Structure 1
């Protein structure tokens, strides 16, 4: 990964070339400055959480106007990629993060000059300083140089003429290795960002009619899986499960649900024996833009092995899924306890 920073520098040329290769979709390039703060998970992390990270991000964005694209979320949306660098302002312990991510950004509201949108991004990051028991024992945020990045970013955009726009927004960022290596506390660092974008062509929004809202029930059956680091050093072991979620739509984009999930985690041991079945009922909220579903679940452990997540009865699971016309769903999820991430995994299933 030594060439990762060099890759970041080369990519702008490739991005500009790729944009000009797709003239059928309106496109723009942007730059954004960011300022953040770190949320400590525990008292021992407070001393290394006092710094204020800052960074810069470049983005390339497409805005499809075809009706088939609009029907993906019953809205107009941006999609594209980000690349950037975050300096954690602690070079000896936390270092820097170089990242690449893809995003999906539905436009929630707009008029002639203003837009309110919500960008969700997922990608990879290269961390220059990670945990080492000898040389960097303080940094229990990161233990793997190559980790995952998740970000949620509501933003307000103002169009200045036909070519330029400015925006400001709030970021909530999370970096974790998804349970692939310990320690895996991960870092949550919210912040603010201000940026400038340049359109490569004129834009004119078409008009499409939204379908009528009808409240209805749905049943979502899914399976999920990941690999986790074995705490006794036996490599990586699987953790997988099944879930059922009964939901009811309360608006075009909001759905509430109740459900249950059962997890079989082979990385958990108790009293020298492998114990791995974990049942948990849950309540859920699904934020749905057409075929895109961002869900949040709050679950309670009915039972769990002794020594596993001591003192914690609840957990959250955040997932982002795409639903095909026939009801098949495919996506990814993140399981967390409060601010502490446990693992990232894949999920697939069916909606009835």
Structure 2
């Protein structure tokens, strides 16, 4: 059974549910949203292991949802200017691999992302912004369509970060210019999964929409910082799937976690803990094709490591990242370190749902979906 599409859809729903839950954070004041269109050309298209050449063209259509009217405490602390819904298109028909310059290997790409727009600096009508985002992407060609050795699936997770400057040229119009990096990867659910990165530069226009009066409602609880424990412990479990090379089959893994959290304030925290991953299928040299998992290949059922890293809290949602060292890993490739990243959402005061990716160097192992309990 192919679980890749459901897993990706659940992840996008998880992300967008947070976005939707925050759209009504204003009260009885006017909010001015805007639309931005920015044509782009690539500065470079690259992967971690392969050189690519020529140019990709495309652009972004962005809907900015204003958050500056009665922002929540974490929005104010981080200087969040807007929530963004981003549609990204790239024509990559001209892109070729330097080692194998056959044409038409990559086709078009599409991405739909939710993003946060942070204001770094503002001087009169000119503003410097940084916008990280996450979502889903679609790539036109894969190993299964034209033996594209870099991409194993049409559906991918997509992330993007942009650095922009906007300047006012009319009462409701701004010019925007910036650079960004867009990343596609399926987190190992279908292999090959070298991923693709597109660095682009663009010049566009931001048009403000008519200001709207927000419906009056009681949002006093929204403007208060969410209460949190300064010291806490987490116990988590998740399950995920890594693809078999050039196959639609998959190998399942279960991740366990136990850790300690220290909250510095309402936005920032630190966590340290132990990761244990159980292999439902271990590496067998006699069945290399069916059990090989690259840097994640293990001769034992368990690998165990300890990791440390920060959490960035946005209300009940947190971005988490940790770098770790293995205490036990009987690895085919003698891997000593790993890192993890993900999202967790406190659905209850004592429980959270999570999406968590495990990575060796720049290579994704698998993404697991599950929950955390905080007694």
With the length of structure 2 as denominator, give the TM-score of the two structures. 0.70
Partner of 2:156: 147
| Offset at residue 236 of structure 1 (A) | 2.5
Partner of 2:109: 97
4+ residue segments displaced more than 6 Å: 208-211
| Offset at residue 155 of structure 1 (A) | 3.8
Is the counterpart of residue 85 in structure 1 residue 89 in structure 2?
yes
Partner of 1:200: 209
* 1:298-337 equivalences in 2 (<5 Å): 298-307=323-332, 310-324=333-347, 326-337=349-360
Is the counterpart of residue 70 in structure 1 residue 72 in structure 2?
yes
Partner of 2:310: 285
| Cα distance between partner residues in 2 of 1:26 and 1:350 | 39
- Between 149-158 and 90-99, report the one with greater CA deviation: 149-158
Instruction: Report if the CA contact (8 A) 1:317-1:335 is conserved.
Output: yes
| Cα distance between partner residues in 2 of 1:256 and 1:278 | 23
**Deviation digits for residues 207-257 of structure 1 (CA, Å, limit 9, x no counterpart):** x9986xx99434343333222224596833432212233233446643333
| Cα distance between partner residues in 2 of 1:233 and 1:218 | 42
Aligned in 2, Cα 1:266/1:159: closer, same or farther, shift over 3 Å?
farther
Is the counterpart of residue 228 in structure 1 residue 230 in structure 2?
no
**Deviation digits for residues 276-332 of structure 1 (CA, Å, limit 9, x no counterpart):** 32211111122333433222211222223443xx24322222213333562533343
Task: State the secondary structure of the residue aligned to 2:53.
Answer: coil
| Offset at residue 33 of structure 1 (A) | 2.9
| Offset at residue 58 of structure 1 (A) | 0.6
| Among 27, 38, 41, the residue aligned to 2:45 | 38
| Offset at residue 149 of structure 1 (A) | 1.3
Instruction: Report if the CA contact (8 A) 1:109-1:115 is conserved.
Output: yes
**Deviation digits for residues 25-75 of structure 1 (CA, Å, limit 9, x no counterpart):** 532111123334233322xx22xx2334332111112114564x6246445
| Among 268, 289, 295, the residue aligned to 1:254 | 268
Give the gaps of 5 or more residues in structure 2.
Answer: 1-23, 96-102, 214-221, 292-298
Task: State the secondary structure of the residue aligned to 2:184.
Answer: strand
| Cα distance between partner residues in 1 of 2:257 and 2:75 | 24
Partner of 1:19: none
Aligned in 2, Cα 1:334/1:201: closer, same or farther, shift over 3 Å?
farther
Aligned-residue CA RMSD (Å): 3.8
| Among 181, 198, 214, the residue aligned to 1:172 | 181
Partner of 1:122: 134
Aligned in 2, Cα 1:128/1:118: closer, same or farther, shift over 3 Å?
same
Partner of 1:13: none
| Among 35, 38, 55, the residue aligned to 1:29 | 35
Aligned in 2, Cα 1:181/1:129: closer, same or farther, shift over 3 Å?
same
Aligned in 2, Cα 1:55/1:113: closer, same or farther, shift over 3 Å?
same
| Cα distance between partner residues in 2 of 1:256 and 1:176 | 27
Task: State the secondary structure of the residue aligned to 2:143.
Answer: coil
| Cα distance between partner residues in 2 of 1:194 and 1:312 | 43
With the length of structure 1 as denominator, give the TM-score of the two structures. 0.74
Aligned in 2, Cα 1:232/1:191: closer, same or farther, shift over 3 Å?
closer
- Between 319-328 and 84-93, report the one with greater CA deviation: 319-328
Aligned in 2, Cα 1:40/1:198: closer, same or farther, shift over 3 Å?
same
Instruction: Report if the CA contact (8 A) 1:163-1:202 is conserved.
Output: no
Give the gaps of 5 or more residues in structure 1.
Answer: 1-21
